[in-house]
Chain A
Amino acid sequence: MQITPYDPNREPPGLADPVFQVSDLSVFYGDYEAVRDVTMSIGHRQITAMIGPSGCGKSTVLRCFNRMNDLIPGARVNGKIAYHGEDLYGDHVDPIEVRHRIGMVFQKPNPFPKSIYDNIAYGPRVNGVRRGLDDIVEEALHQAALWDEVKDKLKDSALALSGGQQQRLCIARTIAVKPEVILMDEPCSALDPIATAKIEDLMHNLAQQYTIVIVTHNMQQAARVSDRTAFLTADVDKAGVRHGRLVEYDLTSQIFTTPQDERTEAYITGRFG
């Protein structure tokens, strides 16, 4: 794979061919409406960041994109998420197939208690791939910038790796399934600054092949890595119940220089949240 260096001054990408089109999305846990009326589009091979204070529902929205919310009893969505124009929550949609195409990296590195090799090979294996696993594993580790560090210990336990290596392993594991989209739920919150920097570099390279949506608490991270940024916050309604809402969604350069909404400005300048 040819890797061209990331150019921070490149032309801002458009939204002509969105991967996801979210319209009036509300997410419920039982009777509680955690997120209300989110409408946004996610661009093809762009990095989209979702920022906002704790409890604003950014992870909840993220987990709708690969239907991980299905696993929470009582969770349901209203509104629509279209994936390449197709309703992600349509009756005929197989959530297993959705997760093949839309991978996810979690907040805390969660390698399986198996060898490094078996961690990467697990995704292809459960999808029925039997041949060429060695090549898949090697390529995924290369793409996740982990190959040089682990090539001599592929049979060792993944749990022996450092936190940053484990998180890159989890990214490699996701890549090995050959998804189109990678969702990242605060992937660096458990890592030190050096490991974080490595993951951010990695994301720039991955964005040439994959569409990435990242939830982060770290505004600088959003500013550094993303093409577009969505700012969410939690509104308190008359009954005192908090609902997550999308406040502003724009090019990252716009959000961080000339935000349109005063709540966004307050948040990015550190006056609240």
Chain B
Amino acid sequence: MTVTVRKTPITAALQGRRRPLEPAFRVVLLASLAIAVVFLGILLAYVVSEGWGRLDSRLWTNFPSKLYPERAGAQSAIVGTVYIIGLTGAFCVPIGVMTAIYLEEYASREHWWNRLIELNIQNLAAVPSIVYGILGLGVLARGLDLGRTLITAALTLSLLVLPVVIIAAREAIRAVPGSIRQGSLALGATQWQTIWRQVLPAAVPGIATGTILALSRAIGEAAPLLLLGAVTHITFNPESVTDAYTVLPIQIFNWIKQPEAEFHTLASAAIVILLAILLLMNSVAIWLRNRYEKRG
């Protein structure tokens, strides 16, 4: 076979004229990125500038007031939000991770019922949150007589984000290489020891990321909590899980409804607080991920 030597200079490609699509794709990709970043930037800048006047300690030391916007704060809503997220995490993480372990490590896909369960978990993740609100009202608040309390709200939000936690945890568990499981079992470890000591620690970064994303969704939910009695003007912090409560999204919504401009400023300031809590949670997720990845 003879090799023909091409006569064209190899520098031609560098001039970009012969491959116009290459830079074009780059521009399209950058533009897509810009849409997300620019809108986030606009949102942040707008909210911060709107709320700047009220972004002070009154916001977290005072309680809501309908009459005196200069005195109003959101302490009960901040505390309520933190409580609810804590409780929701405490309910949905163990249950979600255990469900994921069962589906990934024990359930055989050969059985139709396991495939049906999988399919339905995916469907549940797409159910509108208001439907969960109705479920919580009907079954938890009334059926189990838990009332419109913190515990009802936390359990309802747990149900809401549980499918997302399960799906994220399954992905993380599935990403653990099979060779790790085999290595562990070949040393005479039981299946449970293998899961508890090898698979789960290796899956923690993925589980943490997915869980925080799910909880971030829960933190911003207002719709189901409207049905579950998250009242606006709560002038005390919840002290037990059976207390009435309010949360930031509801408080924000109610302030925006007020005619006075001062309340709108207050709402913007509260949004900044909500975003700050979200950022804090994401930082925890990143910290957890780094901590567990370093071990590897």
Interface, chain A (partner B; CB < 8 A): 66, 68, 71, 73, 96-97, 99-100, 103-104, 106, 108, 110-114, 122-123, 126-127, 157, 159, 170, 173-174, 177
C-alpha gap A174/B185 in the complex (Å): 11
A123 touches B187 (CB 8 A): yes
- Contact for A66 among B108, B186, B189, B202, CB less than 8 A: B186
Q: Which residues of B contact A108 (CB under 8 A)?
A: 179
Q: Are B187 and A122 in contact (CB under 8 A)?
A: yes
Question: Separation in Å of the A51 CB from the closest CB of chain B?
Answer: 22
A112 touching B198, Cβ below 8 Å: yes
Given contacts A113-B202, A113-B295, A113-B296, contact A123 B180 (CB under 8 A): no
Contact of A68 with B198 in the complex, beta carbons under 8 Å: no
Closest residue to B194 on the A side, CB-wise?
A: A126
Q: Which residue of B lies closest to A68 (CB)?
A: B186
Which of A96, A113, A159, A177 contacts B190 (CB under 8 A)?
A: A96
* CB under 8 Å from chain A, chain B span 170-186: 177, 179-180, 182-186
Contact partner, B188, options A106, A112, A113, A126, Cβ 8 Å: A126
Decide if B184 touches A177 in the complex (CB within 8 Å): no
Contacts of B108 in A (CB 8 A): 73
List, in ascending order, chain B residues with CB within 8 A of A73's CB: 108, 110
Bound CA span A71–B183, Å: 12
Contacts of B201 in A (CB 8 A): 113
Give chain A residues whose Cβ lies under 8 Å from the Cβ of B120.
none
Contact present for B180 and A99 (CB under 8 Å): no
Number of chain B residues close to chain A: CB under 8 A: 21
Instruction: With both chains docked as a complex, state the minimum distance between the C-beta of A183 and any C-beta of chain B, in angstroms.
Output: 8
Residue pair B183, A103 in contact (C-beta under 8 Å): no
Interfacial chain B residues near A106, Cβ < 8 Å: 179, 182-183, 186
Find chain B residues with CB under 8 A from A110 CB.
Answer: 177, 179-180, 182-183
A-B residue pairs, 10 tightest by C-beta: A113-B296, A100-B188, A110-B179, A123-B187, A104-B186, A126-B189, A99-B188, A110-B183, A126-B193, A96-B188
Query: Can you list 7 pairs linking A and B with CB atoms under 8 Å apart?
Result: A71-B182, A99-B186, A106-B186, A123-B189, A126-B184, A157-B295, A170-B183
- Cβ A127 vs Cβ B188 within 8 A: yes
What residues on A are CB-neighbors of B71 within 8 Å? none
Determine how close the nearest CB of chain B comes to the CB of A159; give it in whole angstroms.
6
| Contact partners of A170 in chain B: CB under 8 A | 183
* Residues of B participating in the A interface, judged by any CB pair closer than 8 Å: 108, 110, 177, 179-180, 182-190, 193, 197-198, 201-202, 295-296
With contacts A126-B193, A157-B296, A174-B186 known, what are 17 further pairs, Cβ within 8 A?
Answer: A68-B185, A96-B188, A100-B188, A103-B186, A106-B182, A108-B179, A112-B184, A113-B180, A113-B295, A113-B296, A114-B295, A122-B197, A123-B188, A126-B184, A126-B189, A173-B187, A174-B187
CB-nearest residue of chain B to A170: B183
- By a CB distance below 8 angstroms, the chain A residues around B182 are 68, 71, 106, 110
Question: How far is B292's CA from A157's CA once the two chains are assembled, in angstroms?
Answer: 12
Please measure, in the bound complex, the distance between the C-alpha atom of A257 and the C-alpha atom of B296, giving whole angstroms.
47
Given A71-B182, A157-B296, A159-B296, A103 contacting B202 (CB threshold 8 A): no
What residue in chain A is nearest B196 (Cβ atoms)? A126
Q: Would you call A126 and B295 a contact (CB within 8 A)?
A: no
Q: Which residues of B contact A97 (CB under 8 A)?
A: 188
The residues of B that contact A71 with a CB separation of less than 8 Å are: 182, 185
Contacts of B295 in A (CB 8 A): 113-114, 157
Question: A24 to nearest B CB, angstroms?
Answer: 26
Most interface-central of A97, A108, A126, A159 (chain B CB within 10 A): A126
Chain B residue numbers with a CB within 8 Å of A99 are: 185-188
A110 to B177, CA, bound (A): 9
Q: Which residues of B contact A173 (CB under 8 A)?
A: 183, 187
B184 touches A122 (CB 8 A): yes
Most-contacted residue by chain A among B108, B177, B189, B197 (CB, 10 A): B189
> Given the complex of chains A and B, what is the CA–CA distance between A126 and B186 in angstroms?
12
With A68-B185, A157-B296, A159-B296: A126-B190 Cβ-Cβ less than 8 Å: yes
Q: How far is the CA of A123 from the CA of B197 in the complex (A)?
A: 11
Contacts of A96 in B (CB 8 A): 188-190
Residues of chain B within 8 A of A100, CB atoms compared? 187-188
**Chain B residues with CB under 8 A of A66:** 186
Q: A177 and B183 in contact (CB under 8 A), knowing A114-B295, A122-B197, A126-B193? A: no
Residue of chain A at shortest CB distance from B294: A157
**In the assembly, what is the distance between CA of A104 and CA of B183, in Å?**
8
User: Which residues of chain B have C-beta atoms less than 8 A from A103's C-beta?
Assistant: 186-187
**Contact residues in A for B189 (Cβ distance below 8 Å):** 96, 122-123, 126
Most buried by B among A66, A123, A174: A123
A99–B181 Cα gap in the complex (Å)? 14
Give Cα A106–Cα B185 distance, bound, in whole angstroms: 12
